[in-house]
Structure 1
Amino acid sequence: MNADEVAKLCGALSLKEKEGPLMPLKKTLKDDGEKRLGLKLVGKILSNKLVNWDAFMHLIPKIWKIKQGVDIEVVGENIFSFTFRCGEDRRQVLQGGPWRFDKALLVLAEPRGKWDIREISFTKVAFWVQIHNVPLICMTKEIGIFLGRMIGEFREIDVGSSGECTWKYIRVRVVINATEQLRRIL
């Protein structure tokens, strides 16, 4: 076979003949995917050393006090995927954080849409923060929200049955960047 024949045969090869018409994804398939994502979390343990995967996967459901169970998969170095069997357990884990394992912070993220786990930065963590030495006149929900926004991304405030801050301090839940140092004083 000479070079002209080989070139002719190569020119005849085409993937376009095998390509078919594009088909839209059925809405039910997309809805099922979104429903499954609603039961998932991904997490990374912020540590320079690798954690013991078996110990982590055995202990973390007990620490979280999961009622209906969670399936845990190792995705990468200190990165895990959590699939909960019920949305209530997933919500409880998100609300109960931040979580630690082996003296290291576990950063959780909610997967959305077309996210690739390798592209998640795992830097934002929600913390409950106590704000002390607030004058009594400033012990209001509005001041708590204002101060919470100074600390980070405000999520919620802990108020008494009166709807106001009645503690010795104001308690707010804020999302902060775990890679940056915390401010001690506002």
Structure 2
Amino acid sequence: MAEDINRLLEKLNFSEEEATKIVFTKSGSNNSKGFKAWDIGKIMSVEKVNRDVMYRVFKSIWFTKEEVNFVAIKQGVILVKFGNMDDRKKILNLSPLLFDQCLFSMLAYFKDQEVETYAFNLIPFWVRIFNIPLECMDRQVAMDVGSAIGEVIAINWHDRDGGWTKYIQLRVIIDTSKSLRKVVQFVNSEAVVSICAIKYERLPIFCYSCGLISCSTQKCDKEVDLS
């Protein structure tokens, strides 16, 4: 969009004063306290959230080494300016971030990237997969089951041999623009099907009618299936 606007403006005739270019000369803009320590976020909820209160709450619970600042920009998107890279990395690893049970999606900021191109709907969650047969609990099964939910980015091993007892725990990037998946059907080597329940850790408020995090049960047009 910015490139289209620039092309249109280039066709205009400028006065001598308007033709003067302002050159950005600030030094140190590429260091750890510049845009490389920034993130960009968005509240993924149809309900209105008090942003000023959210800013204060996040500042009080994040315990960053340096001050973090929030700047609201277009389309409900918020620029999160950390003071250093360590703070930024620590908070990103805490995802999903919640305020008043509403999801705040936060991604790494990239210079010159259009706001519309950020995939705020792709968010990492820790999930627990129950009812996997004990004899089938290994890394490959964890990857296969996790891939049915989203992109697997981490596996929480319970012991040195990678064994679990009650569940498999995975960190998976989930597309929140789709309905939350409730189960995975696992078939063992003897063709026995197990219905494996999915439990999402730190799950925000979501719609029980359509299963979307960004929706509200009270405002959803889809009827709840009680069967």
Could you give the per-residue CA deviations for residues 32-58 of structure 1, whole angstroms, max 9, x where no partner exists? 179734311111111223321221111
- 5+ residue gaps, structure 1, are 1-12, 20-28
Tell which structure's C-alpha radius of gyration is larger.
1
Which of 136, 157, 160 matches 1:159? 157
Secondary structure of residue in 2 paired with 1:151: coil
1:40–1:140 distance in 2 versus 1, CA, 3 Å = same
- Identity between Structure 1 and Structure 2 (%): 27
Greater mean alpha carbon deviation, residues 56-65 or residues 112-121: 112-121
Structure 1 counterpart of 2:142: 144
Structure 1 counterpart of 2:182: 184
1:148–1:30 distance in 2 versus 1, CA, 3 Å = farther
Letter in 2 for 1:55: V
Letter in 2 for 1:92: K
1:171–1:45 distance in 2 versus 1, CA, 3 Å = same
- 5+ residue gaps, structure 2, are 1-11, 20-26, 185-227
Once residues 163 and 178 of structure 2 are traced to their aligned partners in structure 1, the CA distance between those partners, rounded to angstroms, is 28
Could you give the per-residue CA deviations for residues 84-128 of structure 1, whole angstroms, max 9, x where no partner exists? 112222122111111111231111111224312243242111100
Secondary structure of residue in 1 paired with 2:144: helix
Alignment RMSD (CA, Å): 3.0
Structure 2 counterpart of 1:79: 77
Which of 44, 47, 50 matches 2:48? 50
TM-score (ref. length: structure 2): 0.63
Counterpart contact for 1:141–1:163, Cα < 8 Å: no
Secondary structure of residue in 2 paired with 1:48: coil
TM-score (ref. length: structure 1): 0.76
Report the CA distance between 1:132 and its aligned residue: 0.7
Structure 1 counterpart of 2:113: 115
Secondary structure of residue in 2 paired with 1:126: strand
Secondary structure of residue in 2 paired with 1:143: helix
The answer to which structure has the higher helix fraction is 1
